[in-house]
Structure 1
Amino acid sequence: MRSAIFSYNNHVRNKKQENNLNCEVLNVFNPTDAGTHTDMIHIEIPDTKTLVEKNDGTSRYIAYNMEINGWKHASVRFSHLYEFSELIRTKFGKKYKGPEFPSKKLFKLDAKSIEDRRIKIKKYFQALVQHPEIARHYLVEKQLLGFQVDSYRATSTNVSVDIYLGDGEKIQIKCNVGCNTSDVMKLIAEKLGFSTVEHLQWNFGLFIARSRDSIVSYSISPDTFDPLIVRLLRNFEAPYISLSTVNQKSFGDGLFHYLCLRKLIWDPKAEDVLLDNEQIVDLLYRQATQEMKLGHFGELKFEQESKLKTHKNDKIQFLRTCQQIPHYSYEKLGECSGDYPKAGMVSSIKIGHRQLVIKFTDDIGITTESIFRATRIRVWRLSKVVDDISFQFEYLRSKDNFEWITLNTPHAILLSLLLQSIGTEILYEHNNLSIEQQIAKEKESKGMFVEVDPTPVQPPRDPRKPIIILQNAVENTDPLGVMEHYRNYNRMFTTISDQIPTRDEATGNITNDDL
């Protein structure tokens, strides 16, 4: 099988396009860089603020505002950040290669020195996330969580947290204000009757969402529940604090955010192996019935609509019918602008079925949906122009024909996280790992070593069936060499330069016959 070669001319053309963008490249990712959907993406130190000491209420100090994945995380004093850097130096030693953390000063800093220190702290953290074995480590998660909890200055230790399920039904859990996302997910699993919390944690995510319409409302009706997800919560943050922080900021704009539980399953066929779990079936059914009620399935054929009505009280058969509907199982991420199919085009995006779909209406009123399959996205990156972050991805159109596509969307970082989740699903499905093995693999990457039975609990995959269904694919275990394409990726790398990655691993086994 001939290798698809990324031509030099195409590379030069892309470099010229990049230079014209006049933007700062924040992060660059390969689809399955880290092998886990819980990787961090980006840490920013945008500015500083003056705070008052909690103890005496009069003394002032400079705090450095920290944003993670595009959202305000904490305001942290220099001494605490310095202690963090010392922890990294002690724990990881020479594994960290990058700018040194700024040293302590014996004298009071002026405004210029404070700004210089902020820039150095920013460069330190942005270099830190180039090291997955550090950025993923549970000690780093714990320290970042501590920054958030300390910065929030809660007036109460114990709080109640409302969680909305897929159909808008609300459940309430009680927890400590500093409980991280994993702790909250465990409480949700207990509330919903899960016998194994990993089944919830691996197949569902805890999101911050808001209403899709612009009507100001601080109540949620199950009849019209249609969340626009804006953020996937992680273990380095406390959901209660993250939600409170974003609502404090958005209150003036009339936006109300809430926590909701949504599935992280990107191929409808991947649901089949989960249908023996009563709690998972219930959550999938809730989300599916709500999406059908809201019309997200599109125009149904008569036989499809009849089957859905017939199986309305049979959750498993209802879900299996849904799996046959092309518009089932997508997350709609709202409107964006970009350069596809032409510059300045306003479109909407959704993600599901292991693909990204861009929907747009042309100048003569014709609406089109363009499908971009995750297995053909060679690399993607997050770029910043002024205060806006854009999502850019390089897509294989045909042999030797790569195209960079830019989407200017407030969901750029979320989109990157969801694509990471798709890559993880593909890899673990191919390797036939059990849920327990998947969780163990993630814990190992965080420095939390556990022993797990290496024997897969599911029967071996039928080699006659394709792993991934792609257009023009043949009945073959790996029709486009997709898994080799995924395995060849190196670990995450991050750049703060204007250089375009010149990598060819993604499409090394794709030929014209495959396309």
Structure 2
Amino acid sequence: MHFSIPETEVRSGENGSTYVAYNIHVNGVLHCRVRYSQLLGLHEQIKKEYGSNVVPAFPPKKIFTLTPAEVEQRREQLEKYMQAVRQHPLLGTSEMFNSFLRKAQQETQQIPTEEVVLDICLSNGQKVTVNILTSDQTEDVLDAVATKLDLPEDLVGYFSLFLVREDVDGSLTFVRKLQDFELPYVSITSLRSSEFHIVLRKSYWDMAYDGDVMDNRVGLNLLYAQTVSDIERGWILVNKDQHRQLKSLQEKGSKKEFIHLGQTLKYYGYIKFDPCITDFPEKGCQVIVSAGNNELNFHVKLPNDQMKEGSFKVTRMRCWRVTSSQVPVSNGTTNPCSSAKCEVKLELSFEYLMSKDRLQWVTITSQQAIMMSICLQSMVDELMVKKSGGSIKKMLKKRHNGSIHRADSQQTVKSPPLLDSPDPNREQMVKLSVSACFPFAVLQCSSEQSCVIIYAPIHTSVNDTTDYSIQTKLNSVSLRGISASNSANDISGNDFHGNYAFEGIGDDDL
């Protein structure tokens, strides 16, 4: 999750006095508005519960009224504090922290606690109406949906609630996966737009776990509806012969066979993102990014209108980070940002093993950059659990209960709150709100034909000289090369392999 405090407001209190409010944004959207004293109270609670040596530094009190410069300095300090708490493997998932954010969200939107009805959409467009409280958190709403559908408790963790935006043409934009620090009813109501919906969708990536879901009638129906929907939207590629087979299975009501055939198709289980911009293989290229199968898939339109396709495996990403900047709206001026003339620019950058001895930064400029980062993180969580011999059911249950820590996935990461852009030649950022880095691997290559990633401690040097390291060492895992195109309806038969330094990488799978 991307936490930032990009702005402050001067507001009036109950007795007519004024105070400075700090607007906490999650994924670029206002989540809540809090006072310094509220955050100080949270800090004192956390310090009392977990100890002073665990809690990050908090900006000190001031005796006199703050000047505008001091307010800006405190805003930056509070932003770093919130990011540090959220990234901490213990504090960031604590009920104390989550309940503070939920209460602040409800108070900010001024929605009283009362019984309401909330519509949750399924992949086929059907709506499930549940009776909840406005103060119910994401887990409570998910449980209510599962109860209404008669989905067994041990399968609830296989699904999540996603906030999506549906355009007039029916296309879906995934905004984010709802978290346990927010109240779904408040989140959807505060958007004040009929374009936004909450959708139930599976929350795992490895299709091997489809079998667990399909053993149950309700789980089978949910997975079947999602597969049909993804095919109809063009997220899963199907040629004419495959389409005939799928239609025949659908007419027979053979849902399991339909899903099994779907599993063989390209982009099964992927989430497709809106068209955006990348600097690979050339700066300014248009790209459609999809996440799935432990990779980010690129479908790139080059400046000469040639189409290229390729994949970036998470096992070959040394680290990734999301940066948020405020840039002037294109109006022909170079004036600094003001609240009325700026827009938020999000970028996902990852450092990738292009060849045996060459790492390269690849950047995606997209308003869904944070959602992409969340997908990467959840893929890594699954890989780590699988590699360590852990139970995916336990991981999903912990994730559902809001208690999964990085230690559970063998990946404890402390992320630096502020980093420079990976490309020194990139356009100047007017204001850098936050940058999160998730280093998790040291790359080692033994020969031209084989490379491995060793999960081991990493120390990232940043301006404040703080060490951000992984605390758990794991065994090595093999790397997998780029997968070739296998669909008759693929836009281009060409991929990145052999053209953009993907050679020399072994094809061993995890």
TM-score, normalised by the number of residues in structure 1:
0.73
2:367 to 406, 410, 420: 410
In the alignment of these two chains, the number of paired residues is 420
Deviation at 1:502, TM superposition (A): 11
Which residue of structure 1 aligns with residue 183 of structure 2?
A: 238
1:235 is aligned with what amino acid? D
In structure 2, relative to structure 1, the CA distance for the partners of 1:494 and 1:435 (3 Å cut) is: farther
Separation in 1, partners of 2:56, 2:225: 47
- The answer on whether the counterparts of 1:51 and 1:60 sit within 8 Å (CA) in structure 2 is yes
Aligned to 2:264: 324
Distance 1:361 1:506 in 2: 38
Q: What does residue 261 of structure 1 align with?
A: 200
Partner of 2:213: 274
Cα distance, 1:157–1:131 mapped onto 2, change above 3 Å: same
Whether the aligned pair in 1 keeps the contact of 2:322 and 2:349 (CA below 8 Å) is: yes
- Which letter does structure 2 place at the counterpart of 1:199? L
Q: Secondary structure of 1:61's partner?
A: strand
**Correspondences of 1:289-438 after superposition (within 5 Å):** 289-302=228-241, 304-312=242-250, 313-386=253-326, 387-430=344-387, 431-433=389-391, 435-436=393-394, 438=396
- 1:239-261 alpha-carbon deviations (Å, 9 max, x no partner): 1111222x24xx5xxx8211111
**CA deviation map 1:200-232 (0-9, x unaligned):** 2x2222111112x4x4xxxxxxxx754211111
State the Cα distance separating 1:508 from its structure 2 match: 6.5
Residues 337, 347 of structure 1: 8 Å contact kept: yes
Find the aligned partners of 1:500 and 1:100 in 2 and give their Cα distance.
19
Conservation of the 8 A alpha-carbon contact between 1:488 and 1:506: yes
Of 103, 125, 149, the match for 1:192 = 149
Runs ≥4 in structure 1, deviation > 4 angstroms?
Answer: 440-447, 479-482, 493-503, 505-513
Residue of structure 2 aligned with 1:66, choices 20, 24, 41:
24
Tell me the distance in 2 between the aligned counterparts of 1:500 and 1:409.
29
Shift in alpha-carbon separation, 1:263–1:489, aligned structure 2, 3 A: farther
Indicate conservation of the 8 Å contact 2:286/2:302, yes or no: no
SS of residue paired to 1:311: helix
The alpha carbon displacement at 1:111 in A equals 3.5
Amino acid at match of 2:277: S
Q: Does structure 1 retain, via aligned residues, the 8 Å contact 2:24–2:31?
A: yes
Structure 1 counterpart of 2:79, from 104, 113, 122? 122
Give SS of 1:101's match: coil
1:161–1:173 contact (8 Å) kept in structure 2? yes
Secondary structure of the corresponding residue to residue 9 of structure 2: strand
State the AA in 2 paired with 1:128.
V
Tell me the CA shift for residue 310 of structure 1.
2.4
Identity %: 27
* Structure 1 contact 390–408 (Cα < 8 Å) conserved: yes
1 or 2 for the larger relative contact order (CA 8 Å, sep ≥6)?
1
Q: CA deviation at 1:48?
A: 1.5
Q: What SS does structure 2 have at the residue aligned with 1:135?
A: helix
SS at match of 2:287: strand
Task: Tell me the CA shift for residue 366 of structure 1.
Answer: 2.8
CA change 1:75–1:495 in 2 (3 A) is farther
Counterparts of 1:173 and 1:137, CA distance in 2: 27
Do the aligned partners of 1:394 and 1:405 also contact (CA within 8 Å) in 2?
A: yes
SS in 1 for 2:59: coil
Distance 1:481 1:195, change over 3 A: farther
Q: 1:333 to 1:506 in 2, by over 3 A?
A: farther
Residue 62 of structure 1, CA deviation:
2.5
